[in-house]
Structure 1
Amino acid sequence: MILPLLITGAVGGFLSGFFGVGGGIIMVPLLMLWAKLDQRRASATSLLAIVPTSIVGAFTYGINQQVDFAVAGLVALGAIVGAPLGSKLLRVLPIAVIHWTFVAMMLIEAGRLLFVAEQTGGTFTMSVGNAFALIGLGLLMGVASGMLGIGGGVIAVPVFMSFFGLSALLAKGTSLLAMVPTAIAGTIPNLRAGLVVLKEGLIVGAAAVAASFGGVALAFILPERLSTQLFGLLLLFVALQSAYRRMRAQKKN
């Protein structure tokens, strides 16, 4: 049982470092497949594993000057409020609603990444309007994090690039830093509700931390446009796979 968990963490951690996400987009379905966790427990356990992964990833991008601390702080401010709300929704919403919300989010982000125009050069100007927009983004990111067990990077990274003008590397590093308080704020109520499978979460988290360094290294090597399109293809694959698995489960019931 430990080997599948290590593989789950390694894959999630590599993707976290490479794409600036928490890794939950792949860890949640793998925990459901290999650890036989339901959607709620898989999401909550994944979010626990994202805490150390995002810390290490943010530190690695940070020492390479690819983190905007002001942007991350404003996003985190909104996310800290949104994550407990998402965790509450995780406990009360029907499983089917949570699952199809996950699929829809992946499809939307995949389309945005695959067909987005050329990225800007990383210039961002702080203003009152942008500050409130970043807090709003954090609120959405937090709700998705608490409800779906993802770090929220699948939302933040493309928005950072498309709407706020951050370069791909800066968007990834900033996303990972904003994810740290987000994942913690979502995990605390999940632990209180007994949704986190602690042993599995710690094993997955340890493997994810180790693998994240390789993902970060690759992110600095590949061209920005190529890495963005690969991210879009990954999300598309995960969305289609999750939709297929959900439809099969509905037919059995």
Structure 2
Amino acid sequence: MNAATDTTTADTRIAEPAKSAAKRPAAPTSIDENHLDESPRGLVIMAVVGVLVGILSGLFGIGGGTVIVPALVWLGLTQRHAAATSMMAIVPTAVSGVASYAFEGDVDWIAALIVFCGMFVGGQIGSWLLSKLPEIVLRWAFVVFLLFVMVNQAMSNPSRDSRIVMSVGTVIGLIAFGVIAGVLAGLLGIGGGAICVPALSILFGASDLIARGTSLLAMFPNAITTSVANVRRRMVHVKAAVIIGVVAALTAPFGTWLAAAVTPRAGAIMFTVYLGILLVRSVFVAMKAMKTTKTTRSR
């Protein structure tokens, strides 16, 4: 009897900690749960992505998140961590692009400051949403964003001579727009240029080159503040961000030179085609993720 009682007591003592552990909330997801390919092949791919991002950043005035995020997901990061890592990679890319456009006088410093004020608030909201929303929602949000920007870009016919005319209405509009762009930037891991450039041209009358230079200037401080928030939430793969960002910063001036060499309409068409390719791929990835989720739930 005593032996049986001792055995029962021992079993109870073992079971109680197990029950307690089961009741404990799961630890927050960390970067260690991602499996980024850091082999020589993976590092080469990151470097190639950096080259493409730098050229596209200078050419279209974007941060390059539309390239960085899908590439990092392909290399093993979740959509959430890829978006957060992309924001950090955008910082040196944007700085390099701004320097190139500013050298040619194609930056509206006042408009960029106003847009950044809105983006700062929106970026914090976007970063918070990034840590809360399900993975599948983030993928489809990226698809909807690409479709919206592609349609707007196809409809635009930018001028190379126009500039932003400041008024009270313009200032309010730039701030409101900055908040929206900041939310999208923090949520999707983009710099915001893919929405800033067409909006600055269509809504505020900037030339194509000024829209690109101003967009890059407005996005890089927002990328810094959003990245700080993402780092605190342990969502950034710093090594990948540094590799892509540094390489992109070195190649961005070449993209800026290309932007000035083509006509505004040609640039808009090229940007639309680029977004269309990304849209097709993003829809495929989102649908594949939905099938995977359904299969997992059915088991």
Alignment of 1:38-187 (within 5 A): 38-117=78-157, 119=159, 121-187=161-227
1:1-40 deviations in Å (ceiling 9; x for gaps):
210110111111211111000000111001111x210001
Report the TM-score, using the length of structure 1 for normalisation.
Answer: 0.97
Amino acid aligned to 1:227: G
| Corresponding position of 2:264 | 224
How many residues of Structure 1 are paired with residues of Structure 2 in the alignment?
Answer: 252
| Corresponding position of 1:233 | 273
2:54 to 1, 5, 13: 13
Higher relative contact order (CA 8 A, sep 6+): 1
Give, in whole Å, the separation in 2 of the partners of 1:56 and 1:129: 31
Give, in whole Å, the separation in 2 of the partners of 1:148 and 1:119: 29
1:121-163 deviations in Å (ceiling 9; x for gaps):
3132101111010011111111111111100001110011111
Report the TM-score, using the length of structure 2 for normalisation.
Answer: 0.82
2:245 to 205, 226, 240: 205
Percent identity between the two aligned chains: 38
1:204-250 deviations in Å (ceiling 9; x for gaps):
11111112111111001011100011111111211121111111222
Unaligned regions of 5+ residues in structure 1, if any?
none
* Cα displacement (A) at 1:118: 5.3
SS in 1 for 2:165: coil
Amino acid aligned to 1:30: A
Give, in whole Å, the separation in 1 of the partners of 2:191 and 2:212: 12
Root mean square deviation of aligned Cα: 1.1
- Structure showing greater Rg: 2
Q: 1:125 to 1:118 in 2, by over 3 A?
A: closer
| Corresponding position of 2:20 | none
| Residues 83 and 145, structure 1, Cα contact 8 Å, conserved in 2 | yes
Unaligned regions of 5+ residues in structure 2, if any?
1-41, 294-299
| Residues 21 and 172, structure 1, Cα contact 8 Å, conserved in 2 | yes
